[in-house]
């Protein structure tokens, strides 16, 4: 069985949340990714063996960003993307909160697990410029999740 992960496209009142992985991280060191994200673990498996991906993503939200499940609307499926090379299948889910960027960043400072060396909120109108600026420093499935969430243009991304 191949490894499985979840990734949230977290939209707040001021934009979309991204995090830069620590330069010493084992996986994709120094790269930007959508936050929250993480491997599916035993906490996502129900008694009957079913995997609850939404519960896993909400757990990652609490651990990485410091936000509780009651601060977001129910996660909505976007798509599944397989990482080239590692063959990890990443399940993308859209998350929406009414919180401001300031409140999201404050929650991260107060309760996030410091998985990221930096966390930012990118205004939706600035996503294309951010993607252009960071180039290949974005983990592979994130661009497709942004396209599926309506935050990036597939034609612009395919010309990269």
- 118-145 per-position pLDDT tens digit: 999 999 999 999 999 999 999 989 999 9
Cβ neighbors of 113 (< 8 A, separation 6 or more) are: 63, 64
Neighbours of 98 (CB within 10 A): 11
DSSP letters spanning 16-65 = EEEEEEPTT-SSSTT-EEESSEEE--GGGB-TTS-B-HHHHHHHHIIIII
Q: Is the per-residue pLDDT at 157 higher than 70?
A: no
pLDDT at 158 over 50: no
Euclidean distance between CA atoms 113 and 65, whole angstroms: 7
Domains of the chain (ranges; CATH) run: 4-158 (3.90.79.10)
Q: Which residue has the higher pLDDT, 159 or 31?
A: 31
Q: What is the pTM of this model?
A: 0.92
Q: What pLDDT is recorded for position 87?
A: 85
Percent of the chain with pLDDT over 70: 95
The predicted-structure confidence for 81-108, as pLDDT tens digits, reads as follows: 998 777 889 999 999 999 999 999 999 9
Residue 156 has pLDDT above 70, yes or no: no
42 or 61, higher pLDDT: 61
Average pLDDT, the chain: 91
Phi, psi for residue 59 in degrees, rounded to 5 = -65, -45
Question: Which tens digit of pLDDT belongs to each residue from 66-85?
Answer: 999 999 999 999 999 998 77
Identify the residue with better confidence: 139 or 15.
15
| Cα(80)–Cα(101) distance, integer angstroms | 27
């Amino acid at each position: 069985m191949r490894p499985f992960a979840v990734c949230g496209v977290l939209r707040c009142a001021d934009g979309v949340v991204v995090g830069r992985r620590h330069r010493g991280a084992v996986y994709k060191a120094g790269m930007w990714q959508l936050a929250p994200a993480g491997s599916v673990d035993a906490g996502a498996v129900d008694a009957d063996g079913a995997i609850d991906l939404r519960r896993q993503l909400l757990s990652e939200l609490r651990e990485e960003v410091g936000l509780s499940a009651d601060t977001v609307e129910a996660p909505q499926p976007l798509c599944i993307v397989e990482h080239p090379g590692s063959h990890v299948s990443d399940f993308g889910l859209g998350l929406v909160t009414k919180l401001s960027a300031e409140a999201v960043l404050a929650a991260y400072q107060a309760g996030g697990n410091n998985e990221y060396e930096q966390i930012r909120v990118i205004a939706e109108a600035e996503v294309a410029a951010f993607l252009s600026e960071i180039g290949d420093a974005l983990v592979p499935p994130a661009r497709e999740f942004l396209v599926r969430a309506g935050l990036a243009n597939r034609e612009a991304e395919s010309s990269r």
